[in-house]
Structure 1
Amino acid sequence: MQCVILAAGRGTRMQPLTNDTPKPLIKVCGKPILEHIVKALPKEIDEIILVVSYLKEQIQAFCGEEFLDRKVKYVVQDNPAGGTGDALFTTKSLIRGRFLFMYADDIHGSEALKEVIKYPYAMLSHRSSEPEKFGVLELNDDNTLKAIYEKPKNPPSDLINIGGMVLDTDIFNYQVKPSVGGEVLVTDMVTTFAKDHSVKVVEQSVWIPVGKPEDIAVAETILCPRKN
């Protein structure tokens, strides 16, 4: 099974740390974020596709052609401002079937990832006290996805999108119009995809986002081995 990881962004919210280092290589507990992400992947994942752009040479030098016993392929997103959907479309020629889709600044627990890949189509979610700041999920009665709303004023639930989606090549049939900001969003693609596919929503209690400098200290309280 393949895993697509979006790692092309400039990491503007992480500045100044990302002025000379791509965000996936920012260290948490002495190891790059990307290493934490890959270490948590299920054994079924045997190939990683990294979508890169900003300071891509550093990421390629770090991971090489094989990283943590998994093959690595790279695709370059020429316009990272094109959005997450545009980034996913750059991988189209490499995707073979079902795949796991992830962001390079979200660290997930290994057990949650093992669970989510059990389903033909699925996505991880997390309950937030401030859902309006994220992509918010609306569910059907059977706990499958109905829609994802980006930063809504009136969230339909407290469940948010945190990446970790199981999709397949059918997703590329769901081209959507750019959002108001000009980006093509994966969440819009998945919302239309969910009208024709049953996408199981798997709730994850522990989610470690590392998007801003202050997130690093929080992540380290969870991930770093405690010293006696």
Structure 2
Amino acid sequence: MAGRGSRLRPHTLTVPKPLIPIAGKPIVQRLVEDIAGVLDETIDEVAFIISEDFGQAIEEKLTEVAKNLNAKPSIYYQDQPLGTGHAIMCAKDSLQGPAVVAYADTLFKADFNLDKSADAVMWVKQVENPSAYGVVKLNQDHEITELVEKPSEFVSDLAVIGIYYFKDVAVLKSKLEEVIAQNMMRGGEYQINDGIDKMRADGASFKPGKVNEWMDCGNKTVTVDTNSRMLNFIQKEGKEQLISKNVTLENAEIIDPCFIGENVVLKNAKIGPNVSIGNHSVVEDSKIKNSLIQEHSHIKNAALDNAMIGNHAKFNGEFTSISIGDYSVLD
């Protein structure tokens, strides 16, 4: 998660993309918790590969995510954007035993038993436009035999979503060491796929793990959509409290599903459906739906739909599909 997320600017100018909240929790926290739920076993360590300039406050938040799972937190730095293989090797001191490797800009929902007889599992999702993704090819034994990046001709409609399980991640580590030693670069980067190909060449068995839902957080539009979808999942599951008990309502209506954080004030407002409002925000004389508003922001005289507003922002106007970052003022 070392990249800042340029496609999600201005929101990632002050906060790295994996820390952007979805339904009240940072993306990376939801991802780690979802993986923990799928594995259904004790997690010993959570290692985060970040950029050193993320800062101490963000490192403390990540440490808290790991500790909430009673796991050891480890922080590693990727100082150059040299690809997924290089990023994984930045955490080489933690690469041993069974492990999950995940890119922290995607969320998923899954209900399946992990096939631990395989040497590795790659989570995949059936997609309508496979030419836009990296896809896997399967044999008759339902094993992955090939990885094809953005195929021009149909190979498979099972797209790789960027979450992997390794029975012993030390094997991947050794193969990525070979990739780097041999300077096997693609577009100036070392890729995890080359390490995986070397594992398969040595006879390692890779199986697909299918997910029911795959939600991207790449840009503002899909992030707002992911927030809406996640709110609906949470409401159906009934495992999280979405609306804080100390919300102040003055002539205000909330249409579920919505996440409303701590000490939020809603005055002369209609909120929802599919809205997340962060802690200590104020919304007055406004109608908001299908939108994501972060903490300590003040929204007034607004009619918002498909909007994303950062922390400590002020907005007073009649625009609808807006995207403004932290500390922005439109008054």
1:149 aligns with 148
Structure 1 stretches lacking a partner, 5+ long: 1-6
- Measure the CA separation in 1 of the matches of 2:154 and 2:50: 32
2:228 aligns with 221
Larger radius of gyration: 2
Larger relative CO (CA 8 A, sep 6+): 1 or 2? 1
- Measure the CA separation in 2 of the matches of 1:60 and 1:219: 25
Say whether the 8 Å CA contact 2:119–2:204 is kept in structure 1.
no
Paired residue type of 1:162: I
- Measure the CA separation in 2 of the matches of 1:105 and 1:183: 19
Which runs of at least 4 in structure 1 moved beyond 3 Å after TM superposition? Answer: 116-120
1:205 aligns with 212
Paired residue type of 1:186: I
Question: 1:178 Cα deviation (Å)?
Answer: 0.6
Q: Deviation per CA, 1:163-187: give whole Å up to 9, x if none.
A: 22112211122233111x1111112
2:191 counterpart of 1:185: yes
Q: Deviation per CA, 1:143-177: give whole Å up to 9, x if none.
A: 11112122222241111111221122111222331
Partner SS for 1:211: coil
1:47-196 equivalences in 2 (<5 Å):
47-53=45-51, 55-57=53-55, 58-64=57-63, 66-69=66-69, 70-79=71-80, 81-109=81-109, 111-112=111-112, 115=114, 119-167=118-166, 168-174=169-175, 175-176=178-179, 177-179=184-186, 181-195=187-201, 196=203
Paired residue type of 1:185: Q
Say whether the 8 Å CA contact 2:124–2:159 is kept in structure 1.
yes
Partner SS for 1:39: helix
Partner SS for 1:64: helix
2:11 counterpart of 1:17: yes
Paired residue type of 1:86: H
Paired residue type of 1:91: A
Say whether the 8 Å CA contact 1:100–1:117 is kept in structure 2.
no
- Measure the CA separation in 1 of the matches of 2:129 and 2:53: 32
Structure 2 stretches lacking a partner, 5+ long: 236-255, 258-331
Count the aligned residue pairs: 219
- Measure the CA separation in 2 of the matches of 1:214 and 1:223: 14
Partner SS for 2:111: helix
TM-score (norm 1): 0.87
Question: 1:116 Cα deviation (Å)?
Answer: 5.4
Fraction of identical pairs, as percent: 27
Question: 1:73 Cα deviation (Å)?
Answer: 0.2
